[in-house]
Amino acid sequence: MSIFQKEKAVSQAKFLTSSVIATGVDYALYLLLNWRWFDAVMAHTISYPIAVVVNFYLQKRYIFDLKRKAHHAFVISMGFSVLGWGLGVGMMWLLVKLPVLCDWPILAKIIVTGVLFFFNFYTKRYAFEGR
């Protein structure tokens, strides 16, 4: 394994760790909101943006080499996060309408999380490092 491949693997592992933490925040809020107050789509609509801000902080601090001004990285990152949020809300809305998922919206949330993981990795790398 070349040094470049090792660095990439370490970066992806760190990204996975920050994603797990932010996803924990997302799911905890989602489950609480869905259990107490809101339907699945609205709970996701609220929990995801909060987790995005947690994830930005972790990525800025521990993962990516900031090659832009912090506020520029934040604006670009949040722009991509808004796109991810919209994709996620749209996917949740569609998935919870499927008979197999309508009774288990947490499964829809898991599917959405998996899709957004890859979207987020590449867009955040661009936001922080410009590549």
Per-residue pLDDT tens for 2-57? Answer: 776 777 777 778 888 888 999 899 999 999 999 999 998 899 889 988 998 898 88
Report d(CA 73, CA 128) in Å as an integer: 5
Structural domain of 117: 3-129
> Is 89 within 8 Å of 41 (Cβ atoms)?
yes
Q: DSSP secondary-structure letter at 64?
A: S
Burial of 49 (0-12, 13-18, 19+ CB in 10 A): middle
Q: What is the pLDDT of residues 90-118, one digit of tens each?
A: 999 999 999 988 888 889 989 998 888 88
The number of folded domains in the chain is 1
For the question of whether the overall pTM of this predicted structure is more than 0.85, the answer is: no
